[in-house]
Amino acid sequence: MSLARLHKEPLSNLPYYKERVDLAAAFRWTARLNMHEAVANHFSLSVNEDGTKFLMNPNQVHFSRIKASDLLLIDANDPETLSGPNAPDPTAWGLHGAIHRNVRHARCAMHVHSIHATVLASLADSTLPPVDQNSAMFFNRHVVDANYGGLAFEEEGERCSQLLTDPKVKVMVMGNHGVMVIGDSVADTFNRMFYFERAAETYIKALWTGRPLRTLSDEIAEKTASEMDDYPGQAERHLAELKAILDEEEPVYRN
């Protein structure tokens, strides 16, 4: 039996094993895409019905080294979370804890300071216009936070979470900060984060040319976004392919 196959066998003593594997794969691929930032940034995934218990990366561990067994299991309603021996990063707790308490439809949340999304977050107008098919995916589906208030400790995290209460809004451009992406699953959220960064890159580079932009009409942009919302199975296949590559090249992520 191959090493990759051995690593596909569930670890019976590890709760939420499948969810952990998916999240670990997302961390490692985010590092491969250079969308991480040193040992900062954080992803989380709800594992109970009301979304208040969630998996999250341990404090100050590089995305490229995270394994399924490394992920912390956190209760968003536990005020003693930061006092334990394996406490998460305080800003991760402030931001993700608030989202999982207040935004029930946010089953998964991914926060990065990826280069192009952060450039977008630095502009006076941080809205992503529909200048191509990828950016049209986010038409009327992202919100801009124009009131950055410092590191996302508990008060700031609570404020940010209120901007994601509309179920149609799946991306928050965090002005002067980065981007927060939410979704129904790891696959759904990672796929959205990937495409938002690609769309932001296209837009930023189009601005570099200094030439007029060809912007889609609101009607066509909404039509495209709706079609992408209902596109069958693409996010799941995307993550499955990434996991297949990791199974061959670094199957330790499943441990």
pLDDT of residue 12: 52
Separation between Cα atoms, residue 96 and residue 88, nearest integer Å = 10
Half-sphere exposure at residue 16, Cβ-oriented, CA atoms within 13 angstroms: 21
Q: Is 233 left (phi over 0), alpha (psi -120 to 50) or beta?
A: left
Under a CB-based contact definition with an 8 Å cutoff, are residues 155 and 91 in contact? Answer: no
Range of the domain at 197: 3-254
Separation between Cα atoms, residue 138 and residue 225, nearest integer Å = 6
Coil, strand or helix at 43: strand
pLDDT band at 23; cut points 50, 70, 90:
very high
pTM of this structure:
0.93
pLDDT of residue 84: 80
Look at the chain and report how many structural domains it folds into.
Answer: 1
Angle ∠(160,166,168) on CA atoms, nearest 5: 120
- Type of residue at 47: V
What is the DSSP annotation of 1-23?
Answer: --HHHHHTS--TTSTTHHHHHHH
pLDDT at 221 over 80: yes
Question: In this structure, are strands 53-56 and 142-145 parallel, antiparallel, or unpaired?
Answer: unpaired
Give the single-character DSSP code of 58. Answer: P
Separation between Cα atoms, residue 34 and residue 103, nearest integer Å = 28
CATH at residue 250? 3.40.225.10
pLDDT at 6 over 50: no
Q: What's the pLDDT tens digit per position in 41-78?
A: 999 999 999 999 999 999 999 999 999 999 999 999 99
pLDDT of residue 189: 98
Direct distance between the N- and C-terminal alpha carbons of the chain, in angstroms, rounded to an integer: 17
Separation between Cα atoms, residue 143 and residue 93, nearest integer Å = 22
Separation between Cα atoms, residue 136 and residue 222, nearest integer Å = 7
pLDDT band at 1; cut points 50, 70, 90:
very low
Place of tokens 């308490």: 101
pLDDT band at 101; cut points 50, 70, 90:
very high
pLDDT at 231 over 60: yes
Separation between Cα atoms, residue 78 and residue 156, nearest integer Å = 18
Q: What's the pLDDT tens digit per position in 134-174?
A: 999 999 999 999 999 888 788 899 999 999 999 999 999 99
Closest of 246, 130, 234 to residue 187, by C-alpha = 234
pLDDT at 4 over 50: no
CB burial class (10 A; 0-12, 13-18, 19+) of residue 121?
Answer: buried
Separation between Cα atoms, residue 169 and residue 163, nearest integer Å = 9
Q: What's the pLDDT tens digit per position in 115-133?
A: 999 999 999 999 999 999 9
Separation between Cα atoms, residue 143 and residue 230, nearest integer Å = 21
Mean pLDDT, the chain, rounded, equals 94
The structure tokens listed for 121 are 């977050």
